[in-house]
A and B are shown apart, each in its own frame.
Chain A
Amino acid sequence: MTTVTERPAASPAPSAESRRDRRRRERIEEQDAAIPVELYGLKRGTVPVLTACCVLFAVFTLVPVAWIIFNATKTQANIFGTFGFWFARPFEFFHNFRMLFENVDDDGTYIQWFGNTALYAVLGGGGATALAAFAGYGFAMFRFRGSKVLFYIIIGSLLVPIGAITLPLYLVYAKAHLINSIWGLILPSMVAPVGVYLMRTYIGLSVPRELVDAARIDGAGEARIFFKIALPLMVPGLMTVLLLSVVGVWNNYFLPLIIFSDNNKFPLTVGMGLWSQHATTSGDQNLYPLIVMGGLVTIAPLIILFLILQRYWRSGMLLGSIAN
């Protein structure tokens, strides 16, 4: 009775299906779910006009991205002197990229900031996801004294704006000697009330109570039930929370701006902000190409991450937070 009955591994998706097959299946499912356009009785030309609207907005969306790609290949003179939406000679992409590894004007090294950001995002985002998974599971599966009140307090804290909590954090850090400590950024990043909320909703819908109770009767410990039974069922929800938390840390600017005075601890956002400030005040010849290239290298990983993890992305979960 000390072993849990072996259950078939709860894999989130059958892996036999290839990427292309899955894409095709999803597209067909989507088409099946939609009502055929002909039935709406549209005037002729409506579909092309609407598609054209989409193209226009897509152009608007891609203009800054295109600009940053073209200009990452240019010298400072060409960034300002040539047409913004095409290449120019000399082609300086690799030179600009190499500069990211150098310490310019003692502001700090881009590559160091990149590493910092990745570290903060992994620890902060991962920690936020783990804490949200535990707490969401606790709130979804157990009822204990004060659990409702605690949950409402956590939801209520969603109203507390980042802009209003950041300075208080700084004041506490000044007392607790956490200024310039990377933990001063990572630990508060782990507090994601919205993640707790999303995980509670998701677990309530996707982890059957009967399954958990059955495992208990078989004598499985709570930790074992969580890791072996519940966790595999939570994966899609966890991915959504992880993406949201990682993006949150990757984007964070205000808190690291005020708690770090040591340039070697900056995340990308603060480093780039510093460069942009110095580019205008010091008139340095090299900073603008660096800012453009740095911007490109900053946004590329997240866009790629999103495209890869798209199938895990549960926009329905964001909606779940709204339905209540």
Chain B
Amino acid sequence: MSTDALALPRTELASRPIVARLHDWVTTVDHKRLGILYIIYALVFLLIAGIEATVIRIQLIRPHNDFVSPPVFNRMFTMHGTTMIFFVVMPVLFGFANYLIPLMIGARDMAFPRLNAFSFWMTTFGGLLLYFSLVGANGLYGAGNAPDVGWFAYAPLTSRTFSVGHSTDFWTLALLVSGFGSIGTAINIVATVLCMRCPGMTLAKMPLFAWLNLVMAGLVILAVSPLTAAQIMLLIDRYLGGHFFDTQAGGSAVIWMHFFWIFGHPEVYVLVLPAFAFVSEIIPVFSRKPIFGYSVMVGATVAIGFISMSVWAHHMFTVGMGANVNTFFVLSTMAIAVPTGIKIFNWLATMWGGKIEFKTPMLFCIAFLFQFLAAGLTGVMLSVAPFTWHLGNSYFVVAHFHYVIVGGILFALFGAFYYWFPKMSGKMYSETLGRLHFWLFFIGFHLTFDFMHIPGLLGMPRRIYTYEPGRGWDTWNFIVTIGVFFQAAGILVFLGNLLWSYFRGKAAGSDPWDAWTLEWSTNSPPPAYNFASIPVIKSRRPLWDLKHPADPDWKYE
């Protein structure tokens, strides 16, 4: 390794006083450090929101349980949803995008490094603001502290009349502030992907990871902004006496639903496109084949981006929007299953005939494929408006979207953690612990979310803090809660693996997977400047070309 000399400054860094090193982290504008900050921040909130989920499930383990009181239960599901979406999944995906995009496109940093740091700290303060409500929101005695209006905060529950005190203000301000951070990061990703590619990397030669994150960033720009607008309206209503969502003065509660879900549904694709991006990088490497149908994958991604902007009102079939509106959103929602299905077939075709290596990242990606397919199928069921009339707001819906977010996004994310951990830390993770994590989490996931569909079908509504015995819900809820403990054990093994491997793991080397994208051409962890000299590429798999000079990819592309 001729670049071993680069390891020298690192030992000097390590000997500096801890305050100086912390100061380096706080003031950093390096995309890799910000990426890691995003990821650690998200893991902390993952623990918090996971504990909230556990509280919810313990409360529901048997009928007439009184583990927590009804108001606390409301706070738990509100904080769980808000935290998981805005302060776990989005930051962790931004973290991976931040860390990997410049490395994959052969750049030395993001397009706007200081905007990058600004966005991270905005997101951070948003999360802190949300949890500061626990001490700061108790404006009125007995009015409650943490937000308790549900993660989509329907009007008129958020009006001053029904939400006294300041808990809703903390909720709306936290989302407003972190929303500015998200928009900043999205602008940065778009500018980086379009303007910072290394010579030779045309759009058609970018790794799919960069493509999917480009579309994701475009969606953030178009989808988080409406949420920002809606939060400003809510603040005007609450602080200046406005009437946007005030039905007493002619305002409309339904328009809040529209504005929220104009954000809310594209948001699902904001979260899932980076998961697709991970899978599109991991599956080819562990199948030892290039991705099947690159251009179709790009086309399907862009199609998903467009269609996802026109499906939001399928969250509102039970509101009574009229037959024409319902029909439009039924059809558009069904249509989005087509490009998504194309992707699944492409991943399967990539694996077909490949020399599959069942390493931990690949295990998670294979589970992702099947679970995401199942999640998509219940999604198609729910896209049928009359079906939603029966099952809207039931545990069937809860099971469906957790299947997407946990079974799809989180599994892909765990795959990404194991796949890029050697690059980020320079150490190899423990394969044994990785497999243990996979099987614990896999079993826990299926115990919880497979069986959660059934009480939904039997009529159990979401967000109830307890239920009567003898409705046929008892056994199912018991199984669902037992699954949570398996998942929690899996998460603990995962965190233990990360920590243990970071301090005790074997050195990983720059390219442990024999992979093909540019991030594996530099050291692990990469030096601050990423590449000693900016690479020049001729195909989608520059490292393949380098390793096989007799048979390079660019001859065929």
Q: Do A and B bind each other?
A: no
